[in-house]
Amino acid sequence: GDSVTQMEGPVTLSEEAFLTINCTYTATGYPSLFWYVQYPGEGLQLLLKATKADDKGSNKGFEATYRKETTSFHLEKGSVQVSDSAVYFCALHYGGSQGNLIFGKGTKLSVKP
């Protein structure tokens, strides 16, 4: 079945370091791909998305490119801040009657000053 695999955390970085969180997926069709973020004490919120191959999603300095050839959607940020400390979830979605998001297990990021 369809699934999403993320790198296991926790990931600990110093402020201004470069961030990569790996995400790969297994899909029978052509899903849209998402990154959701859960800040401490808050609900999940959409960070960015890409709906087709080679699309790049970006928001708040984060980027991810939909790579069909490697079935990947890695999250990157050039310079992390303490406020980026959160749990990041990669997800895929087909739409139509299959409404649910399929999530990875999440990667906890801690950024130290």
Residues that bind other proteins (CB under 8 A): 32, 34, 36, 42-46, 49, 89, 91, 93, 95-106
* Residue closer to other proteins (CB basis): 46 or 53: 46
* Residue closer to other proteins (CB basis): 46 or 82: 46
Least separation in angstroms between CB 38 and other proteins: 9
- Which tokens in the block code for residue 52? 């087709």
Least separation in angstroms between CB 55 and other proteins: 13
Least separation in angstroms between CB 26 and other proteins: 16
- Which tokens in the block code for residue 105? 């297990």
The rounded distance, in Å, linking the Cα atoms of 72 and 14 is: 25
**Strand-pair category, 11-14 with 107-112:** parallel
Establish how many alpha carbons lie within 13 A of residue 108's alpha carbon, considering only the half-sphere containing its beta carbon: 4
